[in-house]
Structure 1
């Protein structure tokens, strides 16, 4: 064989090998990211107090499944929701930004035209959300449970869950109705479902598992399970009620205790599903949208509200700690991480940047208030650079603005036209000038590491530090006001 022929054979062999290599590379490319991307599950309770789990100190309620998640994962003793009430809390979780920037200041009622334009409030289409950014890098996405991010639920006049990246959604506008038992108000992908037999926490987990049954196991998923429990109107399985009755003040309290355990049972069923189906590499985060409801706050409809703030001051709708400091648990199934109790300050605002980093998704092009806590998962370290700030204009307590930085918390009242700003449900063009021209007054300062009860105001004993915190709060509050969304009715 001549040299030329041998040389020709060698060239053809190289070309053939190169083509096959390129074909193999092209076939493997779509799965390169998904091989390392974790499944992500957010479990969110409604009105669950800081002290309502046995792992967070409740002396009676049994929550073994959540306790095990905490023991084998990370128990967060300084975890914060993004607001002390439901709708803004959920909007902040989804977007990684203060809910004030989305224009969601208070809970969103059913559609009813009002002078303050509250009927216009909804999560707007331009908001970038967790499911949308995860979907952009190959995730299947699902919401089951409570939505409560629009005044027009299941209407084409406002964006719905599917407009924010959820492939599948099975949800209610607000609470399960008429109660957690046999609810009638679920909607699945725009279609009303009608009455469903059973209890809401079990129903939403059933839906989640049915959805997971249909998914490609080679594709990562994002699942958000937003339980209605233990928000009123409460209904609990009778066997659990009877279990707690001897340990309770009355039947209503027993029903509340049973309601929390029923959530724990639902979580246990979901965890067992993951185990049975060998679903690993799954990051689970558990928390609550805000603190516990006050007993009888809105009459007989809140007669079951026996939630516990634990050692914290306040309740739901407060800017004291119990309003938005809630149980936090992280557990990464199938991956070795830091384990134990962490006192690092973590917020639901941090979910979006953390999930983006873990999945390889790009962050949205906007100012985020959350920060990635990826380092916390690996080595237990997380020292946030941005303070957390809340401006809740409908607070039950007097200090409507609060900020946490490190171990310290500063709070302030709002004064407008020489008097304390009245409670507001919404910011609109009719009160924009009033709010933006108001000033912060009557500051108080607490060291939460030494004084979890917020019982000792240190503003006079640490004057220089107090002045620094005041200045920082005013800077951060002004930045928040500058990005606040104002609702204007366009007739």
Structure 2
């Protein structure tokens, strides 16, 4: 049972260290420019333009700016995933996270298994820390981990098993950790000493730990990682500090974010000031970057105009393979080695390159990695990237999607030279961009550069085979149709459009067109779930499917049959139907509900059309996808597939909980 304690400021951090043996120093040669100390700062959810030196239009970050003034800014740095866990695996190992079956954020055992993911990064994975530790470096990690442990995963390796002498993490990891809520499951998992603090104190506690570690190892060499939870939402600033931003923005989420960003900047300044005060500035490489783009939860679009965080010229945000989700700020400072005040706007570098690059600065070999040594670039010598860069995020591994449906990207991407291809495994939603001429990804050149797009598709195929992902390299590349979103569980989801015509907020279907959402991305039906379907429609023909998910064993559907609206539930091969009255010509609203207890109700134009009990419980998820305007494979209701709808649909909403 962990010991829950609440400490005053600095002691809260040091408590994480008391039970750890200090590494022996007698075998370590002192740090030097050829064997530098290394500080790696990895911010959580910081957008490309959140630091003012990268273009923040509203907030100044003077201490981060100072780091950039005294070092090098890379304007084309990428992380290898638009979400936390795989991005952290990439910078930790120098390998694509798919090699370790970590494609999205690590969660509970059940959710990991459901998405075909490991529960944690294997302890035998190659890590920068282990390589540097073997070379005589003192090593430490302070802050967010999220590569295994937490929730109900209590058997993950401790962070010290990856090559760190000292560690203190947050709720997504084991070992000594700092939490903000005693009810957090991590508080009861054991495997380390637990202390508590307020959310706004957390970054300062990890900075305290980092400073203490540096002081004790000032003679070096040392490798320390500071991975704050900031600026991940929810943004909880110190009480009273958000008020100063009320004159800057009326968005209350932004006010809190700006206060948290300002406080983070102060902590970065504390750390850099300590390095300088200790006289080790010229012997210390500091690297500063972010794990992915800024937050994009649906609530921000529902409650205010936009989410907090800035992506500058780039489109998309967190959970998206568009540039705004993976293109992040990067600063390196190493006086006398890394040029001061330089901006490199041409060289590409990514998270997997950090391990071989940091090892190169330390004079340590790092063979067999996906990343490449870019130490020459950081020394001020711009150079083209020597091979393609690849990404995968989405079906079937990812549950989290952007709150703005336009930000939902295809699930694979590759960049080679200035060209970037985004594509789904079946060739759909394909986009080809020239990033130098079109950094905002607005001009899809798929048609005009078809041969190049096909070549890049083949490279994704070869990479997918190498890292264990499914991808059809022979699929026809099809550009995206005009998207049409529907609201699923409160979130706008863009479905693939197969010929539907969009007229403002309406979808017009001609009996030959439909929308689809793959089964891996469709709502979870398994168990006793409540279902609520609502929207409006106008049927030109007396029959056709409005929406359907599943088939003749498991699923639900709403369709028009003989001029009447029919709500159907199929569970364990048994169909239960509820039929409404004859429909008059024109537009109609509907609401169809199945309660957790199996009671079905149907309303048409606000008038109850009937109730029926006995709809069964779904034993599992169906094999069929979600379709709007058709039912393509196995029929949920008593009709022949595809039973395509001819008419107009609007304001479709699906809630399944």
* 1:4-403 matched pairs, under 5 angstroms: 31=29, 36-112=34-110, 116=114, 120-152=118-150, 157-174=155-172, 178=180, 190-195=192-197, 199-215=201-217, 217-238=218-239, 240-280=241-281, 281-297=283-299, 305-333=307-335, 335=337, 337=339, 339-343=341-345, 344-364=347-367, 366=368, 368-393=369-394, 394=398, 396=402, 397-403=408-414
Gaps of 5+ in 1: 1-27, 416-439, 485-491
Contact 1:141–1:166 (8 Å) recurs in 2? yes
Gaps of 5+ in 2: 1-25, 403-407, 472-657
Contact 2:142–2:227 (8 Å) recurs in 1? yes
SS at 1:223's partner residue?
A: strand
Structure 2: distance between partners of 1:328 and 1:449: 18
Structure 1: distance between partners of 2:216 and 2:153: 27
Residue 472 (structure 1) shift: 2.6
Structure 1 residues 378 and 115, CA, compared in 2 at 3 Å: closer, same or farther? Answer: closer
Between Structure 1 and Structure 2, the one with more helix by share is: 1
Equivalent residues, number = 426
Q: Which has the larger radius of gyration?
A: 2
Residue 224 (structure 1) shift: 0.5
Structure 1: distance between partners of 2:33 and 2:329: 31
Structure 2: distance between partners of 1:30 and 1:318: 43
Structure 2: distance between partners of 1:111 and 1:79: 33
Structure 2: distance between partners of 1:332 and 1:209: 18
Contact 1:142–1:167 (8 Å) recurs in 2? yes
Give the equivalent residue in structure 2 for 1:11: none
Structure 1 residues 187 and 300, CA, compared in 2 at 3 Å: closer, same or farther? Answer: farther
Structure 1 residues 35 and 454, CA, compared in 2 at 3 Å: closer, same or farther? Answer: closer
- TM-score, normalization: structure 2? 0.60
* 1:364-443 matched pairs, under 5 angstroms: 364=367, 366=368, 368-393=369-394, 394=398, 396=402, 397-415=408-426, 440-443=427-430
Structure 1 residues 82 and 114, CA, compared in 2 at 3 Å: closer, same or farther? Answer: closer
Contact 2:422–2:431 (8 Å) recurs in 1? yes
Residue 236 (structure 1) shift: 1.1
Contact 1:186–1:193 (8 Å) recurs in 2? no
Cα deviation code 1:103-151 (max 9, x no counterpart): 1011112455665276852010110111111101111111111111104
Cα deviation code 1:409-468 (max 9, x no counterpart): 0111123xxxxxxxxxxxxxxxxxxxxxxxx44432100101111000112223343333
Structure 2: distance between partners of 1:100 and 1:388: 13
SS at 1:372's partner residue?
A: coil
- TM-score, normalization: structure 1? 0.79
Structure 1 residues 59 and 156, CA, compared in 2 at 3 Å: closer, same or farther? Answer: closer
SS at 2:246's partner residue?
A: helix
Structure 1 residues 476 and 191, CA, compared in 2 at 3 Å: closer, same or farther? Answer: same
Contact 1:48–1:290 (8 Å) recurs in 2? yes
Structure 1: distance between partners of 2:278 and 2:317: 40
Instruction: Verify: 1:448 aligned to 2:449, yes or no.
Output: no
Contact 1:44–1:227 (8 Å) recurs in 2? yes
Instruction: Verify: 1:471 aligned to 2:458, yes or no.
Output: yes
Give the equivalent residue in structure 2 for 1:3: none
SS at 2:247's partner residue?
A: helix
Pairwise CA RMSD = 3.1
